Structure 1
Amino acid sequence: MRSQTVRLPDEDLFSLLGKEVELGRFSHSIALCFGRANIEENATLSWLIRPAEIADLDALLALEQAAFSGDRLTRRQLRHLITRAQAEFLVAIRDDSETPPTLLGDVLVLFNRATSVARLYSIAVAEAARGQGVGRALVEAAERATWVRQRAYLRLEIRRDNLASQRLFERLGYRRFGMRPAYYQDKMEALRYEKALMPALGPVATGPGVPFYEQTLDFTCGASCLMMALKALDGRISLDRTLELRIWREATTIFMTSGHGGCGPFGLALAAHRRGFLAEVFVNDRGVPLIDSVRSPEKKEVMRLVHEDMLSEIERIGIPVTYATLDVETMQARFVAGAVPLVLISSYRIYAEKFPHWVVVTGCDDSFIYVHDPYVDINNGETALDSMNMPIQPSEFRRMARYGRAGLQAVVLISRPEPSAHG
């Protein structure tokens, strides 16, 4: 829907969010998680922060027109965000006895179904309200709303040349964790920031640094995950569409669901081996992986032949295959030791669609397992930021790491080869 996360006018963010203004009082209830704010010094406004309502549509649309020169939300989009979206849409309303209620600003936070991360997508403050602390209060209310939704991280993107924004959000406790090259229409880079809303959360556990690669076709998630794992283990590897398609051709099951086949665990292991890496397969079923995803007997037969051929090659090469579930604790330990896990999941818990999908583990700590998801849901306004280092609670991860009625579980561990005894 849009190409940037925090849509801020070009004006100095310090004036927008109120650099020098301290909130005199900000009380909130657990039920609403928002509240009232009064500025006692150097300000003339008091306001109420609450969820946006349909009655706010005209004012919200007017603020969109005034605050942004392009990439504006339409009335229809605003209505959807208020009524049906996986979002928290908050507004700051002027609240005093002498002036009619007036919209002073808004902030929009988007949520993913199954992960513990939220995205600060948009913030706008009316020109007459700038410098009063409205923007800062909206950000803080957004953080509380995110926490009430049981999300542990809030993320956003900022232009590399917007130094004021960077300083401001750093002052609010946001940590820079990456960059997206040529992200904006003018090819400016986007800096990625996040804030841990749970005080005990710290840096992700040490393991291979996994770069991000976005799949370019619906059926290349497995190939894209393997590419990310290989790049993490050997920085000389170039990630491009040619490699994506080459790995897919090597690892595909030929058919799957109603379209082209994705990649199976045995095919991914073979593709890694051909490139000089070690691979281990953990699968809880000795049958043909994902064969229940097709109905045609002819397609089932093709998938069976492909599987048997791959399995024969795996046995000849000596790639380890364990017909059992790899538990989360062991997977985390192997990651910290240097292996990169590729995990088959059901996409239903994230996208509400029942199809098999691969993700790659990028980190772990006491609270979460972090994954890169190569799929970016651009139709719902998401960017690559939403798919990177997605924090998932271990209990939720266990539920999603199985597919189909049979509960297929598959993990492929990729690691560097052992140093040669002669080298």
Structure 2
Amino acid sequence: MCSVTLRPALPADLDALTALEHRCFDLDRLSRRSFQKWIKRRHEGFIIAETADRTLAGYALVLLQPGTRLARLYSIAVDPSLRGQKLGEKLMDAAERYAHEERRLYLRLEVRKDNHCAIALYEKRGYRLFGLTPDYYEDHQDALRYQKRLHYQPANDARLHLPWVQQSTPFTCGPACLLMALAALKDRTPDTTEELLLWREATTIYMTAGHGGCHPMGLAIAAQRRGLSASVWCNQKGPLFVDSVRDPDKKTVITTLHQYFVDTCKKDGIKVNYQDFTANDLDRAIAAGKIVLVMISTWRLDGRKAPHWIAISGSDEECFYIHDPDPGEDQVPLDCQHVPITREKFEKMRKYGQAKLRTAVVLGP
């Protein structure tokens, strides 16, 4: 059996990594520039396997998703001449150990549907299949999505039935989340035109800068008009978001729309609970088959203090799992689905602004 040493990637490894990538993969290769980026960041999750004669035998690259307890095995490779010597398992051990040391609860990965050897290795190590992404690779092969709980296996796994929808504009997170609910509860195919029409119905028109976001009552009204049951939790009675706008004319517009949403909810029989909601309230709604859209502050996700709608795809005793419709700069859509957020962190995320606005929309069939 080949003896290897594991260590973080160094600048001197760049040429060998690029050559190894070309020996291992015909398609979907990491570029030299990508390797250079992660080496330059001195990323401890970029793990090199080196033989006694200092030959690069393989690597694993683990990425950590900011603001979450989720890690992703972005890529793993073993020199073809050294396969069959359990180097892949050693790299997987190191990848899981790194993610665990970084207090991640899950390590996730994607694998080609036809890569039976890799699939067998992952399943042997306790990875569970939880999704499929069609047409993921350059040759249009599907990707199977696996994950492993690094700390313990929860008694109540996340509910993974909620389809994910990516917002098509910077300001339509709310409509994208509502489209997820419509896809799950009404089997409706997400449509960009409907996303924009939902925004027109539910928007506040103005925010601090740029286009306005969606009002929780506006989303509830739009959902009910499309055949869903809807109710709202909101810990504030007055106009929402008005404190973030300085222009008095804009304040008037926001206040006018808020009153329209209040009156329409009353007229259409949409219940508005003017009180804070708890983790137990969320758990009960999820257990009842409801889909909950929650407004959060993005500060703990991307360092920006912006209101942002997400959909909860499930919960267990330690985490809420969210669908975030907006992939960040260093993220791909797979990173934004069923993201585990610890209950403690979620409690901090679900308040926005100086007024600590907390609001959610509960949707059912």
TM-score of the two chains, using structure 1 as the length reference: 0.81
Q: 1:202 to 1:83 in 2, by over 3 A?
A: farther
Q: Distance in 2 between matches of 1:85 and 1:277?
A: 49
Q: In the TM superposition, what is the alpha-carbon distance from 1:193 to its structure 2 partner?
A: 0.9
Cα separation, 2, equivalents of 1:115 and 1:180: 22
| Superposed CA offset, 1:8-65 (max 9, x none) | xxxxxxxxxxxxxxxxxxxxxxxxxxxxxxxxxxx2x211112223343343333334
**Given the alignment, which residue of 252, 257, 281 partners 2:208?**
257
**Is contact 1:205-1:336 (8 Å) kept?**
no
Of 220, 242, 249, 1:291 maps to 242
- Residue equivalent to 1:369: 320
Asked whether the 8 Å contact 1:87–1:108 carries over to 2, the reply is: no
Asked whether the 8 Å contact 2:158–2:313 carries over to 1, the reply is no
- The counterpart of 1:347, out of the listed 288, 291, 298, is 298
Correspondence for 1:174 among 115, 127, 132: 127
Q: Is 1:161 aligned with 2:110?
A: no
Contact 1:87 1:110 (8 Å CA) reproduced = no
Shift of 1:184: 2.5
- Matched residues, number: 365
Residue 10 of structure 2 is matched in structure 1 by 53
Secondary structure of the corresponding residue to residue 191 of structure 1: strand
- 1:219 aligned counterpart, secondary structure: coil
How far is 1:259 from its partner?
1.4
CA RMSD of aligned residues (A): 2.1
Q: Which runs of 5+ in 2 are unaligned?
A: none
Report the Cα distance in structure 2 between the residues aligned to 1:165 and 1:85, rounded to whole angstroms. Answer: 28
User: What is aligned with 2:284?
Assistant: 333
2-structure distance, mates of 1:185, 1:221: 29
Determine which of 337, 347, 352 is the counterpart of 1:398.
Answer: 347
Letter in 1 for 2:259: E
Structure 2 residue aligned with 1:223: 175
Measure how far apart 1:179 and its partner are. 1.1
2:226 counterpart letter in structure 1: R
Structure 1: stretches of 5+ with no match in the other structure: 1-42, 417-423
The corresponding residue for 1:316 is 267
1:339-366: CA deviation from partner (whole Å, max 9, x where unpaired):
2110000111112222111111111111
Structure 1 residues 113 and 238 mapped into 2: Cα distance closer, same or farther (>3 Å)? same
More divergent stretch after superposition (172-181 vs 394-403): 172-181
What secondary structure is seen at the aligned counterpart in 1 of 2:45?
Answer: strand
Deviation, structure 1 residue 234: 2.4
Q: 1:279, CA displacement in angstroms?
A: 1.3
Contact kept, 8 Å, 1:87 with 1:111, in 2: the verdict is: no
Secondary structure of 1:260's aligned partner: coil
User: What displacement does 1:83 show?
Assistant: 4.3
TM-score using structure 2 length: 0.93
Q: What is the deviation of 1:181?
A: 2.0
Q: State the match for 1:35 in structure 2.
A: none
C-alpha distance in structure 1 between counterparts of 2:261 and 2:43, whole Å: 41
Among 195, 220, 233, the residue aligned to 2:185 = 233
